[in-house]
Amino acid sequence: MNKPDQGFGMVVKAAGAAIAFGAVLLASNSAVAADAANGKALVESHNCAACHGVKLNNPVSSEYPKLAGQHASYIYWALRQYQMGTNNPNLGRSNPIMQAQVGSLSQSDMKDIAAYVETLTGDLVQKK
């Protein structure tokens, strides 16, 4: 049988552990936060506007999507799928131009690009 002070001590230890775990999660999330400024630099250096148009909102062909304002999570996942290409037919996207464009990008680079694209004003329709 626990003494009253032992039960309280266990609660304090558990609360302390939960707070410490929360602090670690918070620190790890901020350490991998996307950098939209770097994303802009990457978009410019990879010349994304050549196909997706000025401010990624005016594609040169109707075959290319408007990207401006798209959700970062969608952009990131699309870029990852192009990287996977035909190596994973269940998840990959098979566009040789995009595969070449994203081949050298790290996951962090793709998150930065996605964060930048999300900040752009575009013509995407949003439900009200």
User: What's the pLDDT tens digit per position in 19-72?
Assistant: 555 544 444 344 458 999 999 999 999 999 999 999 999 999 999 999 999 999
Q: What pLDDT does 19 receive?
A: 59
DSSP string, 39-100: HHHHHHHTTTHHHH-GGGSS-SSTTSPP-TT--HHHHHHHHHHHHHGGGSTTT----HHHHH
- The closest of 15, 18, 34 to 119, measured between CA atoms, is 34
Whether residue 21 is found in the same domain as residue 71: no
Q: Is residue 126 part of a domain?
A: no
Q: Helix (H, G, I), strand (E, B), or coil: what is residue 16? A: helix
Q: Give the range of the structural domain holding residue 14, as residue numbers without chain letter.
A: 1-31
Q: Is residue 69 part of a domain?
A: yes
- Give the whole-angstrom CA distance, residue 75 versus residue 43: 12
pTM above 0.75, yes or no: no
Q: Is residue 68 part of a domain?
A: yes
Whether residue 25 is found in the same domain as residue 68: no
Whether residue 67 is found in the same domain as residue 38: yes
Q: Is residue 55 part of a domain?
A: yes
